[in-house]
Amino acid sequence: MDETNPEGSSAAPRGIDPISILALLCLAVILLSMIGAAAGWSAINLGTGERVTVTSMFAAENIRHLLAEMPSTFFGFEPLGMVVLIMLGAGFAEKVGLIGAALRAALKNVPVVALTPAIVVIGILAHIGTDAAYFVVIPFAGYAFAAAGRHPLTGICAAFAGVGGGYGANLLVTPTDAAVYGITEAAARVIDPGSTIDILANYFLLASFAVLVTIIVTLVTDLYLEKRIERRFPRPATIDAEAIEAHRGLGISLGVTLLIIAIGAALGLAPGAPLRMPDGDLRPFYKSFIAIVFLAMLGGGLAFGFLNGRLRRDSDVYALMQQALAETAPFLLLIFFAAHFGAFLGWTHLAEVGAAKAAAGLRDVQLTGVPLILAFSALTALLNLILPSTSAKWAIMAPTAVPMMMGLGISPEMTAAAYRIGASASELLTPTAMTPIVFVFAQRYARDLGFGRFLGLMVPYAAAIFVGGLALLFAWASLDLPLGPSGAHASLAVAAR
């Protein structure tokens, strides 16, 4: 919203729509693919040893991908199902009054100063559910701030900074850790066949990074951003007063919600449970988080609605669910272009070739020590803008970057740590992946908020997390502290094995 228009009228300039940005990025990929194919752009994938060449989007194979697979490209895009399920469940629980009543009751005795760090810590812990954190923690943060009498947009920004900016932070072991360190180990064995990188390789550092992210996000939110948001965006009336006061049946409704969550946890954590693989792998359980949360919100909402008389017949239930589902409409068009942008990069091999060449470029400039770590983290942050998947990007970069860094005196664990920090900071600014989805959450509370202005709200977080994370990494190295329980140290020399 324009500062000269404090009332937030519909005439306020909003900037370019994120859907338009994604559409333009799709066109840019098409153009670059034509140029790259004509120029013969290619790179060696050290993971497979094969040369990968850029292909034009107008190649016969890619035209078949585009037209024959368009429905599966769109509906097979994983965030689509997550968004619809979570907004259906959480939207129903909100409209029936459960979320407003529960948050008001829960936050009644919580000090205002504790709300922001609590939201950030919850966001970091929610990484165990991978991308589910974006669809659960962030919209609920808006509700929580509104229930506490604060601007819900502030809650959305703080939660996004915690979930996205703290994506490389660890208080719990997450599926991303398994992917990153497995890839790191395979890449390190190019130089040292006996190299082993365990899943806790950087735990001490990244647990400290989680604490640092919590402090940074809390200070930026409470001392700077909240005042800016309150000044520029009028606070919406987002919580129904009737729902706030209607506590009858709240305990039973929350009991139903927790019971469903407990049943879901038992289905994954109990020995021999159906969401647990025979070898103990919990990935099916992690992938079930969205469904469990949806069912918990739906079950709790039904109990609350019928106990309070807000739901009297089945048609009342369907009417509220339809209202909740209608709010997913802005996501559908956005996800259509987001899905195709990612697919275009994969079909044309532009992302793979670009990442491999960028990593090789660091080797060619022959930087060492601190400047090399800085350049590598900055490169990671930039590549994250076009290839936001942490594990996919690392699968492309690591086979080149890890051996190259080892040859220049930097351990694989240190390289992985620099990668996690760089990717975390820029997660808040990428125009693809989750950022546009979070923007739609934010627009619920600030209709005149443009995508560019939303990114502007996240810049202080991203800059502070990037600088603070690297400062922590260099301090760790200067003190020669162990990165994790395995004993590898954060020195700029290859760790003894």
Q: Tell whether 68 is covered by a domain.
A: no
Question: Smallest Cα–Cα separation from 450: which of 7, 11, 4?
Answer: 11
Chain segment 466-478, per-residue pLDDT in tens: 999 999 999 998 8
Q: Using 50 as the pLDDT threshold, list the residues of the chain that sit under it.
A: 1-15, 238-246, 493-497
DSSP string, 285-343: HHHTHHHHHHHHHHHHHHHHHHHHTS--SHHHHHHHHHHHHHTTHHHHHHHHHHHHHHH
Q: Tell whether 296 is covered by a domain.
A: no
Q: Tell whether 201 is covered by a domain.
A: yes
Count up the domains in the chain and report the number.
1
Q: Tell whether 2 is covered by a domain.
A: no
* Residue 435: predicted pLDDT: 82
* Residue 495: predicted pLDDT: 37
Residues of the domain holding 421: 18-22+73-246+310-478
* Residue 56: predicted pLDDT: 95
Q: Tell whether 166 is covered by a domain.
A: yes
Burial state string for 447-481 with b = 16 or more CB within 10 A and e = fewer than 16: ebbbbebbbebbebbbebbbebbbebbbebbeeee
Q: Tell whether 457 is covered by a domain.
A: yes
Q: Tell whether 283 is covered by a domain.
A: no
Positive or negative: CA dihedral 301, 306, 311, 312: positive
Q: Tell whether 488 is covered by a domain.
A: no
